[in-house]
């Protein structure tokens, strides 16, 4: 090959290479710009309020309705209800930020022996007389991002009704009450050192519960795509209802069938002793007693003492 032709080819190849590098660099810069530029405006605000129930009744109830954000509750030996809400608004520009600041709020109201903490916006409705909360779900009309992260300290015998939908888990600890009800759509549920009748529903994440006292009233646990892990105290006597499509149930507790027609196969699994049963079935732990109902689709259930 002629030397001049070879040199020309090298120059062309170098130009192509530099052009590709430039294009790659421009692409990377655009990506960083898009990522870094998303929600460039941010506002944070802390809302604090202290409430008190009218009496020390075991019927006192805390209700939390959240939409975007976490819910954390801790039981104490005091009489006050301490509420802290961390409000975060993010927007692409100042107009979106100001809209979010105006539209998204947390409200705290009292009706008799019930304290309500709820997400307040043009997309939600709340009726204080009935305690009914409704989120209209106008997700496509909101151009900003927001979260309300709610932290509450309550007397430890306070009944709980907690819920959120997106971008947060629900966590409660050291609460010994008559009734604990928790619902989360896209986050996990953790109840640590609790006692009381329990309803826990986490649609897409795990449920983890540890009891300081075993439930004495019928309780229900449900998850569509997560596992359910329950730690109980010695001496649990319960009738277990287990329903699953793809999951199994595990326990290290004394277990027996509650009807002659049910098939139960005992073996070792990765989570301990495993009882493989027909999918819509009931059995007993101990001598039986209160009903504990487990409903899962794609997860496992573990009950440990």
Q: What is the pLDDT of residues 111-156, one digit of tens each?
A: 999 999 999 999 999 999 999 999 886 656 788 999 999 999 999 9
Average pLDDT across the chain, whole number: 85
Q: Work out the pLDDT band at 258, boundaries 50, 70, 90.
A: low
Report the percent of the chain where pLDDT is more than 90: 69
pLDDT digits (tens, 9 = 90+) for 233-255: 999 999 999 998 888 888 888 88
Q: Nearest to residue 263, comparing CAs of 245, 250, 282, 244?
A: 282
DSSP string, 222-243: EESSS-EEEE--TT--EEEEEE
pLDDT digits (tens, 9 = 90+) for 42-90: 999 999 999 999 999 999 999 999 999 999 999 999 999 999 999 999 9
Strand (E) or helix (H) holding 106: strand 105-111
Residue with tokens 């509450």: 152
Average pLDDT over residues 279-295: 88
């Amino acid at each position: 090959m002629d030397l001049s032709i070879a040199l020309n080819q090298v120059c062309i190849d170098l130009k192509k290479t530099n052009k590709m590098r430039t294009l790659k660099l421009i692409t990377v810069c655009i990506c960083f710009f898009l990522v870094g530029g998303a929600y460039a405006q941010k506002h944070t605000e802390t809302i604090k309020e202290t409430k008190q129930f009218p009496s020390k009744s075991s019927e006192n109830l805390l209700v939390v309705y959240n939409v975007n954000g976490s819910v954390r509750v801790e039981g104490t030996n005091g009489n006050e209800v301490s509420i802290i809400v961390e409000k975060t608004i993010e927007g692409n520009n100042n107009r979106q930020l100001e809209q979010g600041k105006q539209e998204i709020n947390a409200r705290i109201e009292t009706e008799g022996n019930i304290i309500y903490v709820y997400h307040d916006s043009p997309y939600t409705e709340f009726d204080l007389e009935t305690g009914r909360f409704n989120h209209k779900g106008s997700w496509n009309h909101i151009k900003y991002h927001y979260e309300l992260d709610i932290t509450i300290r309550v007397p430890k015998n306070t009944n709980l009704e907690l819920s959120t939908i997106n971008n947060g888990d629900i966590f409660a600890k050291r609460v010994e009450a008559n009734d604990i009800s928790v619902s989360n759509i896209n986050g996990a549920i953790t109840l640590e050192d609790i006692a009381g009748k329990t309803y826990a529903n986490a649609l897409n994440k795990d449920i983890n519960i540890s009891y300081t006292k075993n439930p004495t009233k019928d309780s229900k646990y449900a998850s569509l795509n997560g596992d359910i892990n329950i730690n109980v105290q010695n001496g649990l006597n319960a009738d277990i209802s287990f329903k699953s499509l793809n999951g199994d149930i595990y326990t290290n507790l004394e277990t027996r069938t509650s009807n002659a027609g049910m098939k139960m196969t005992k073996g070792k699994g990765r989570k301990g002793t495993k009882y493989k049963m027909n999918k819509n079935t009931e059995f007993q732990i101990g001598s039986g007693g209160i009903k504990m109902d487990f409903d899962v689709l794609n997860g496992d259930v573990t009950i440990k003492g």
